[in-house]
Amino acid sequence: MVGAECVCQLTFDIGQSGSQSYTYSSGVLTVQSADGGAPDTYDSCITGSTLRYRETTDGGIPGVFSLTK
């Protein structure tokens, strides 16, 4: 688990770009919707230099994703 002061940047090309506010508490990342809708939620953990996360939003993308420094 990582503290609330963690700053991470994820970049990938999906044809859109933007930024949204987020909060992180007890392993749950909550990303506010850019259009004012319901937020997206993710379970996450950090082990060494690897961040693993899984979207828990209803209808979200299935699977576990890993990001490594």
Mean pLDDT of successive 10-residue stretches along the chain, which has 69 residues: 59 65 89 86 91 90 85
Spatial strand order of the sheet with 28-31 comes to 22-25, 28-31, 40-47, 50-55, 64-68
pTM of the complete model = 0.64
pLDDT of residue 37: 87
Residue 38 to residue 30: CA distance in whole angstroms? 10
User: Strand pairing partners for 30?
Assistant: 23, 41
Give the separation between CA 18 and CA 3, rounded to whole angstroms. 24
pLDDT at 14: 58
CB 14 within 8 A of CB 58: no
